[in-house]
Amino acid sequence: MRIIAGEFRGLALASVGKGDAGAHLRPTSDRVRESLFNVLNSRGVISGATVLDLFAGTGALGLEALSRGAASVTFVENGAAALKILTRNIALTRAEKRCVIVRRDATRLGDAPGDMADLVFLDPPYGKGLGAPALEAAQKAGMIAPGATIVWEEDAPQLPRLAGLNVVDQRRYGGTHVTIMEYAPEG
C-alpha cells in the first residue's frame, strides 16, 4: 500500500498484508484509490478541503487526500490495531499538524472536534450496516458542511438514507462499490 500521487507520492504506508479480518482492516487497494481520486480530482473537491475519514482504518484515503492538496484530515477510528497503523502512517507522512485522530465509534460521535468537512470518506466494515448510522452521527455532530462530497465504499451500491444526500456517481471495482454523494441539506 502506497500513496499514489501528490506531496507524498510513492510513500509506502505501514502494511496490514491482505487485511486483518478480526480488526476489520481491509485497506482500499491502490487501484481503487487511484481511480477514485481521479474522479474526485475531476470534480475539483480535493484542493484545500477539510476531510473527514470515518472508519479510517489505516488512513490511506485521508492521507491520499492530504497528499493531493487537502488542508486537513480528521480520522475517526476506534480499533486498537487500526489506531496503531494509522498513527504510524501519519508519522510516516510527517503531517501530524494537519491531522486529528478521534478515537471513537463512528456511529456514536457525540460532540466531535474539528471543522465541518467538505469531503467525507466512509469505509465501514462491509455488510454490517454501519455506514448510514455513521453518516447520521456525523451530520448530527455538525461535522459535514453543506455541499460536501461524500464517498461511501461498501460491498454493494449504497442509496442515501439521510435527507439532503444526492447520488452523483456510482462505480464498481470488482467486489468494491463506491457511491459518491453530495450533501445538500434542506433549509
Q: Is the pLDDT of residue 180 over 90?
A: yes
Q: Which CATH architecture has domain 28-183?
A: 3-Layer(aba) Sandwich (3.40)
- The predicted structure's pLDDT at residue 103: 94
How do residues 6-27 score in pLDDT, each as one tens digit?
999 988 888 765 544 554 555 6
Q: Is the pLDDT of residue 68 over 50?
A: yes
Q: β-pairing, 176-183 with 144-154?
A: antiparallel
Q: How far apart are CA 106 and CA 102, in angstroms?
A: 9
- The predicted structure's pLDDT at residue 78: 93
Torsion angles phi and psi, residue 63, rounded to 5: -70, -35
Q: Is the pLDDT of residue 58 over 50?
A: yes
| Exposed / middle / buried, residue 170 (Cβ in 10 Å: 0-12, 13-18, 19+) | middle
**Arithmetic mean of pLDDT, 90-112:** 92
